[in-house]
Amino acid sequence: MTLIAESVSMRFGGLVALEDVSLAVPGTGIVGLIGPNGAGKTTLFNCLTGLSAPTSGRIVLGGRPLPADPAEAMRGGVARTFQNIRLFGEMSVLDNVLVGRHSRIKQSLLGALVRSPGFRRSEAEAAERARAELTFVGLDPDGRRPASSLSYGDQRRVEIARALAGDPAVLMLDEPTAGMNGTETAAIGTLIRGIRDRGIAVVVIEHDTKFIFSLCDHVYVLVRGRMLVDGPPAVVREDPRVIEAYLGTAAC
Ligand SMILES: Nc1ncnc2c1ncn2[C@@H]1O[C@H](COP(=O)(O)OP(=O)(O)OP(=O)(O)O)[C@@H](O)[C@H]1O
């Protein structure tokens, strides 16, 4: 399912955060989005995940306009993680992942109240799926510990498991390696490739350009709210405009 931003602009009062930005996420593969601080990456992510409606332009998923409503966007097939981890800290790891699964399954209120056989079967299936996703991201499938008791890196994995439990067609990861060391970053890269191999399209925002260039099939570069250039990593990293605008630092 292709996710497309068509000529998206976003203004906050007098500030132009995005100006006529277009981007296409094909149904498979890993797309990277890089750019200096304040370039508009998170603003674009928010539009692509239904969190914000662009001031002009549109977001299209599978040929249909994406509703500017995160829950609807998730039901449509777009899941995300956040720059600042957003888990229910007091809840168990498993329950956090179940929240992602419940966005996908329909249960009647009556069935839930009387705990009908259908409701119990559906709950058991959801728990099984949540455990499978915990195993997939490399965590203990038991998941009984409170989410807040996990290390920062493992909490990121729980967020990813929760997003995967909702059966997304596109998974959007906002700085998935923020605060991680080299070993942890490499492990997240392996996990993202595994997600890609399941046939899920992945979009990654990162400041770590080395990570993006080694991971992605296609890279977009945003600078001051405009899409400066996009292409395969080998082309983008050599583009003089990119080097001048963004990569002419020790970071690349
Ligand atoms: N809700 C908002 N209200 C007003 N201005 C905003 C809002 N959200 C973002 N901005 C502004 O829009 C611009 C783009 O911000 P955005 O967070 O999208 O950039 P970014 O590329 O994600 O930056 P960073 O890498 O630092 O996270 C910035 O100037 C920011 O201050």
Give the pLDDT score at 252.
43
Question: Right CATH number for 1-77+168-252 from 3.30.160.100, 3.40.50.300, 3.10.450.50, 3.90.79.10?
Answer: 3.40.50.300
Atom 9 of ligand 1, nearest CA residue: 43
Question: Tell me: the pLDDT tens digits for 27-61?
Answer: 999 999 999 888 999 999 999 999 999 999 999 99
More reliable by pLDDT, 178 or 217: 217
Can you tell me which atom of ligand 1 is nearest the CA of 10?
12
Three-point CA angle 34, 40, 41, nearest 5°:
40
Three-point CA angle 120, 121, 124, nearest 5°:
85
Q: Which of 8, 12, 209 for a ligand 1 pocket mutation test, highest count of atoms within 8 Å of Cβ?
A: 12
Can you tell me which atom of ligand 1 is nearest the CA of 12?
4
Half-sphere exposure of 89 (CA within 13 A, CB side): 6
- Sequential DSSP letters for 62-80: TTEEPPS-HHHHHHHTEEE
pLDDT > 90: percent of the chain: 60
Residue 174, number of CB atoms within 10 A of its CB: 21
Whether the CB-CB separation of 158 and 152 falls below 8 Å is answered with: no
Question: Tell me: the pLDDT tens digits for 149-200?
Answer: 998 889 999 999 999 999 999 999 999 998 888 999 999 999 999 999 999 9
Q: Which of 8, 10, 11, 15 for a ligand 1 pocket mutation test, highest count of atoms within 8 Å of Cβ?
A: 15
Can you tell me which atom of ligand 1 is nearest the CA of 225?
14
Domain locations in the chain as residue ranges: 1-77+168-252, 89-167
Rounded distance between C-alpha atoms, residue 206 and residue 183, angstroms: 16
Angle, in degrees to the nearest 10, between helices 152-165 and 117-136: 130
Rounded distance between C-alpha atoms, residue 244 and residue 248, angstroms: 6
Give the pLDDT score at 119.
64
What are the pocket residues of ligand 1 if the criterion is a CB atom closer than 6 Å to any ligand atom? 12, 15, 17, 35, 37-43
Amino acid at 33: L
Q: What is the pTM of this model?
A: 0.89
Whether the CB-CB separation of 176 and 154 falls below 8 Å is answered with: no
pLDDT > 70: percent of the chain: 90
Rounded distance between C-alpha atoms, residue 91 and residue 147, angstroms: 6
Rounded distance between C-alpha atoms, residue 220 and residue 224, angstroms: 13
Question: Tell me: the pLDDT tens digits for 127-155?
Answer: 899 999 999 999 988 878 988 899 888 99
Residue 232 carries which DSSP code? -
Question: Tell me: the pLDDT tens digits for 89-129?
Answer: 788 899 899 987 777 666 666 656 666 666 667 777 888 99
The two tokens of residue 4 are: 């497309």
- Sequential DSSP letters for 123-188: HHHHHHHHHHHHHHTTS-TT--SBGGGS-HHHHHHHHHHHHHHT--SEEEEESTTTT--HHHHHHH
Whether the CB-CB separation of 24 and 8 falls below 8 Å is answered with: no
